[in-house]
Structure 1
Amino acid sequence: MNLQPSSQQCFHCGLPLPADTTYSATVCGESRAMCCPGCAAVAEAICSSGLDDYYRFRSDFAAQGDTQLAGTLDKLSVFDHADIQDEFVVDSGNKQTIQLSIDGISCAACGWLIEKQLAKIEGILQVAVNVSARRATISWDPQRLKLSQILASIEQIGYHALPFEPDQHERLYQHSSKTLLKKLGLAGLMTMQVMMLAIGLYFGLFGDIEPDVKQYFHWLSLLLTTPVVVYAGSGFFVSAWNALKARFLNMDVSVSLAILGTYLASGWATVTGDGDIYFESVCMFVFLLLVSRYLEQRSRYRSAQASANMLKHIPVSATIVEGSEQRLVLAKHLTIGQQVLVKAGETVPIDGIIHTGHSDIDESMLSGEFEPVSKSQGDPVFGGTVNQQSPLIITVSKTLKNALVNQIIRMQELAMAQKPAIAHFADRTSRHFIALVLIIAAASYIAWQWIDPQQAFWILIAVLVATCPCALSLATPTALTCAVARLNRHGLLIKRADVLEQVLDVKEVVLDKTGTLTKGHFSLSHTWQCADIPKDRLLQIATSLEQVSEHPLSKGFNHPVPLPVSSVTVVPGGGIEGTVDGITYRIGNCTFAGQDCGNDYVMANVFLSANGVLLGAFSLTDEIRDNAQAFVDSLAPLPTTLLSGDREAQAIRVAKTLGIDTVLWQQSPDQKVSYVTQQQRKHPVMMMGDGINDAPVLAAASVSIAMGNAADMAKRSADVVLLGDNLPVIADLFSTARDSRRIIKQNMAWALGYNVVILPLAVCGLLTPWLAVIGMSLSSILVVSNSTRLLKERI
């Protein structure tokens, strides 16, 4: 065996053996100690199938067996549901195919074991396990086998398999990657053959070649080159034709002219038996171009993978609680208001509010922060996060289609569909550069017709190939894609790609207080009775009105018996008006309540009135976030301003504590917009907020950031969404923006500099077509490789 565990380790998973373990399994004719019944069951299943060789060839331990294997197998029947078949399974009549994401794969022996185990099952038609991607593609006969049986077979040998449904980016990548690899393989194979013939012809490796034999080799090269041009190079021609139809010049126009020109000229020389032949240059040109395109595609895929694969974190099934009964359903069938049980260790299936329980939630897949977040009754939880400690019952607040994970993916797609100014500059530059190159190429051809007609055409080709602006076109998009992916890992969702450009011009940061710099978890600290109404009645009316509000202050009112409210009107930045028991009340700031509160209630921040009469005042206090000080410090030397709708005492307390330069209090939404608009006449402003009342000012700022727990309206208005509450990561937005600008400048400098240097050499006839091909391809590869440096934390 390649791997020999010690006597104190579980033979299957390698974990330490408990002191009183009684579990064992017979492996390769010997009794082996196991740490749990899960590992013992897995080992027995492997050996009873005659697959003992797994333990001989493995190079790493397996994952620990499922200690509740029977319960896991019972749940797998949900995958035979017709709806899930429609969503994940490709049905070809007498054959069904599915792609599975498999947890627990650690080495090549794991892939071998899964393939061998499934191959023994009657009805399995084909199995292919990709160890590096931890995925398996399986085809089976639906008349003889169910999907749940396949998944159960994988579970029994210690691996956890789920249907993998890639989103649109993933599907497009797989399809285009497969096609591109076919073309790349064909071009590479044919290039080797044609180069072998060309080397023999050029250097006389075949000795003295008769003219007929030499012509035969030329015809053979033409035959080998034709599929390279027609199939492998077809993408360039289609792209160029579409661009010309749209009266547009792209880099594939010059590429297509170079490929077709060289191929047709060499073909004509082969037919007539007179002229130079460059079939090897055609093949090499297409091959190296495809290599650079493939590397570009890979870099884009790597950078987009973080958001593109987020959907696989969402479990397929969920446990609904209906009274004293529980039943298993598909997560996508959950509706708002249903209650779902999430056991310890399970993944939250959908967005919701905790109804019962207290636990730590791992939200790293959303925020990038691996420290668990403590949550209890009333706190929001999000699909794809992991419940670590105790069982929770959550009330569904959003359907799966509108869950945060899906929102992130949609917003990410929108961000990458937009182009910043520097990308538009690169596009315009490349179009103008192509036009200039075509003019220079034509002028070079005409000039060389006078100097040396035999070289004129090949110099034309060298100019077209060497100056193909592939690198220039890749300079900006590859860098921006990698930068956005890097920020995703840190828990920052970019909704506009040009944010990375604009954030570096920011000269002032404006901050909201409640829910942004403070925790937003308010508690009622004091109540003033301003009329002859019992305190309990005041709290009851206030709680009833605040039930319809999303403002963080509303959570501070929690009377156990709220009253029905009618004719409700919510005024952003003001408060709520509603009718309770036939009386119309107003609750909100003192202005909205229709009062001039003066200094009588200096610590109060919520006021209740009816018919213009002040009935009560409330003081709700909020704690400053633990990381708020580090966040404000990280913004230096930018000046900071606190815009708060709160009263003077509360706003000044927070500003002084955090060292914020300027503070304005009792600001209405209109006043906030007015301030930001006024400041932006002087310099660009960045605004950060979280409530509905912050939506207008977020939309008005040059760059805006919304907290992850912000109101939906605020998140729609913002340019950046902070997933989680780790404020200091905002500094990463500035550092990544600086790094991406530097990388883009490097890429542009190289792309333009290369073309400026190479163009005179090509025009002067000092550059052969095949050298031009190598130079152009290396230029593109260098730009893509430089951009992928942004995926690192430090560059």
Structure 2
Amino acid sequence: MSETAIETGLFLDGLRCAGCVNRVERALLALPGVHEAQINYTTHRARVRFDAARTSAAGLVDCVAGLGYEATPYDPTALDRPAERSARDALVRVLVAAFLAGNVMWLAVALYIGAFEGIDETTRSGLRWVATALSLPAVTWCAAPFWRGAFAGLRRREITIDVPVVLGLSVAFGVGIVATATNADHVYVDSAAMIVFLILLGRTLERRARARTSESVERLSRLAPKTAWRRGAAGLEEIPLDQVAVGDRLVIPPGEAVPADGRILVGASEFDESLLSGESVPVARQPGDVVAGGSRNLLSEVTVSVTATAREGTLAKLQALLERAQTEKP
């Protein structure tokens, strides 16, 4: 493998099924310089290893966008923004669809009961047209993600999972309009509105499940502090975490997280390692003992000699293993 090979992560939006995952993986692997591409449908994250001399992260994003999906370079500090926007949009759509489908179903119940109770024709026709009017925004605006996904697939000459969804709701709504206009015995606009609501609800619940699944990775990324206190010839200075080097003497005040793996030189304290080891009881550490980056100093100030940088330490390895486990197929 080339010396310029690097690994990057992408957050993907718009994946609907395993076929979407396979489609994006094949497209990424077809790019020049891409050695490996793995996508986890659960977290909607891709792990791509590629030759930086032949392609770029922007090229990966453009490739995914060309397939009709949205890709965002993985950044734990900024990734929540597009995900939160997408989640808010999905929540609004499912709530509007629930309101519309619920009212349409009440009108349908009234029509079914009225058929046995001798409802007059004027009222019957009026209720049908009101139900049709309420179903229209459900099958258009609320179902916009389905329409976009279906058309994007058809442009690529592929049948995606959105195509049968759009076909079902459009046929139900179209037949309902014809039935309403011709005063037929049965209308199906309530079915169209309910199809949209149920599928949107399922996707919203699935999105929340994915968010819970990937929460552990985000919690690990937030364990490490942004800066560290280094003791040097000029005294104590605050430096960015990425400037910490092996052999640096770091001062860890009580209540602060350990920036990087190290060995205690001065002081003794207890450390909270629950998010690293699962052990809820604080662990006592003495001079000469090893402390892991991401653990939290609880009692007193200690001085630590760095044995591994933040990118090579225990916390980084755990995060990489967890991320890799989520992207690998069972």
For this structure pair, what is the TM-score category when the shorter chain's length is used for normalisation?
0.5 to 0.7
Structure 1 pair 273–313 and aligned structure 2 pair: CA distance change class (3 A): same
Match of residue 385, structure 1, among 282, 288, 295: 295
- Mapped to 2, the partners of 1:240 and 1:403 lie a distance apart of 45
Give 1:238's aligned amino acid.
R
Match of residue 108, structure 2, among 198, 201, 205: 198
C-alpha contact 1:307 1:408 (8 A) present in aligned 2:
no
Q: Secondary structure, in 3 states, of the residue corresponding to 1:340? A: strand
Q: Quote how far apart the aligned CAs of 1:226 are.
A: 1.8
Match of residue 326, structure 1, among 236, 251, 258: 236
- Mapped to 2, the partners of 1:354 and 1:206 lie a distance apart of 84
Map 1:185-584 to 2 at 5 A.
Answer: 185-204=95-114, 209-245=119-155, 248-274=158-184, 276-323=186-233, 325-332=235-242, 334-377=244-287, 379-420=289-330
TM-score by length of 2: 0.64
Write out per-residue CA displacement over residues 615-666 of structure 1, whole angstroms, 9 at most, x where no aligned residue. Answer: xxxxxxxxxxxxxxxxxxxxxxxxxxxxxxxxxxxxxxxxxxxxxxxxxxxx
Give 1:361's aligned amino acid.
F
Structure 1 pair 403–212 and aligned structure 2 pair: CA distance change class (3 A): farther
Structure 1 pair 186–240 and aligned structure 2 pair: CA distance change class (3 A): same
C-alpha contact 2:217 2:323 (8 A) present in aligned 1:
no
Structure 1 pair 281–413 and aligned structure 2 pair: CA distance change class (3 A): same
C-alpha contact 1:200 1:206 (8 A) present in aligned 2:
no
Aligned length: 256
Map 1:643-654 to 2 at 5 A.
Answer: none
Give 2:260's aligned amino acid.
I
- Mapped to 2, the partners of 1:166 and 1:246 lie a distance apart of 32
- Mapped to 2, the partners of 1:415 and 1:171 lie a distance apart of 24
Give 1:253's aligned amino acid.
V
Q: Secondary structure, in 3 states, of the residue corresponding to 1:231? A: helix
Indicate the RMSD between aligned Cα atoms, in angstroms: 3.3
C-alpha contact 1:342 1:387 (8 A) present in aligned 2:
yes
Give 2:223's aligned amino acid.
H
- Mapped to 1, the partners of 2:173 and 2:314 lie a distance apart of 53
Question: 257-266 or 170-179, which moves further after superposition?
Answer: 170-179
Q: Secondary structure, in 3 states, of the residue corresponding to 1:354? A: strand
C-alpha contact 1:170 1:308 (8 A) present in aligned 2:
no
Write out per-residue CA displacement over residues 266-306 of structure 1, whole angstroms, 9 at most, x where no aligned residue. Answer: 12333444463111112222212222222222223223222
Q: Does 1:184 align with 2:94?
A: yes
C-alpha contact 2:90 2:204 (8 A) present in aligned 1:
yes
Structure 1 pair 192–220 and aligned structure 2 pair: CA distance change class (3 A): same
Q: Quote how far apart the aligned CAs of 1:230 are.
A: 1.6
Q: Quote how far apart the aligned CAs of 1:375 are.
A: 4.0
Give 1:381's aligned amino acid.
V
Q: Quote how far apart the aligned CAs of 1:381 are.
A: 2.8
C-alpha contact 1:319 1:340 (8 A) present in aligned 2:
yes
- Mapped to 1, the partners of 2:169 and 2:103 lie a distance apart of 18
Q: Quote how far apart the aligned CAs of 1:189 are.
A: 0.7
- Mapped to 2, the partners of 1:168 and 1:332 lie a distance apart of 18
C-alpha contact 1:316 1:330 (8 A) present in aligned 2:
yes
C-alpha contact 1:167 1:308 (8 A) present in aligned 2:
no
Choose between structure 1 and 2 for higher RCO, CA contacts under 8 A separated by at least 6 residues.
Answer: 2
Question: Identity over the aligned pairs, expressed in percent?
Answer: 30
- Mapped to 1, the partners of 2:322 and 2:151 lie a distance apart of 31
- Mapped to 1, the partners of 2:116 and 2:107 lie a distance apart of 10
- Mapped to 2, the partners of 1:333 and 1:231 lie a distance apart of 50
Structure 1 pair 389–238 and aligned structure 2 pair: CA distance change class (3 A): same
C-alpha contact 1:341 1:391 (8 A) present in aligned 2:
yes
Give 1:255's aligned amino acid.
V
1:25 corresponds in structure 2 to none
1:607 corresponds in structure 2 to none
Q: Quote how far apart the aligned CAs of 1:241 are.
A: 4.0
- Mapped to 2, the partners of 1:185 and 1:193 lie a distance apart of 13
Q: Quote how far apart the aligned CAs of 1:262 are.
A: 0.8
Structure 1 pair 272–333 and aligned structure 2 pair: CA distance change class (3 A): farther
Q: Quote how far apart the aligned CAs of 1:321 are.
A: 1.8
Q: Secondary structure, in 3 states, of the residue corresponding to 1:309? A: helix
Q: Quote how far apart the aligned CAs of 1:224 are.
A: 1.4
- Mapped to 2, the partners of 1:319 and 1:381 lie a distance apart of 16
Gap runs ≥5 in structure 1? 1-164, 421-795
Give 1:416's aligned amino acid.
Q
- Mapped to 2, the partners of 1:330 and 1:386 lie a distance apart of 18
C-alpha contact 1:321 1:327 (8 A) present in aligned 2:
yes
Structure 1 pair 378–238 and aligned structure 2 pair: CA distance change class (3 A): farther
Q: Secondary structure, in 3 states, of the residue corresponding to 1:313? A: coil
- Mapped to 2, the partners of 1:248 and 1:405 lie a distance apart of 42
Q: Quote how far apart the aligned CAs of 1:341 are.
A: 0.6
TM-score by length of 1: 0.29
C-alpha contact 2:262 2:291 (8 A) present in aligned 1:
yes
Structure 1 pair 171–367 and aligned structure 2 pair: CA distance change class (3 A): farther
2:34 corresponds in structure 1 to none
Structure with the greater alpha carbon radius of gyration: 1
Structure 1 pair 183–168 and aligned structure 2 pair: CA distance change class (3 A): same
Q: Quote how far apart the aligned CAs of 1:356 are.
A: 3.4
C-alpha contact 2:252 2:303 (8 A) present in aligned 1:
yes
Write out per-residue CA displacement over residues 496-554 of structure 1, whole angstroms, 9 at most, x where no aligned residue. Answer: xxxxxxxxxxxxxxxxxxxxxxxxxxxxxxxxxxxxxxxxxxxxxxxxxxxxxxxxxxx
Gap runs ≥5 in structure 2? 1-74
Write out per-residue CA displacement over residues 8-27 of structure 1, whole angstroms, 9 at most, x where no aligned residue. Answer: xxxxxxxxxxxxxxxxxxxx
- Mapped to 1, the partners of 2:148 and 2:307 lie a distance apart of 47
- Mapped to 2, the partners of 1:369 and 1:276 lie a distance apart of 63
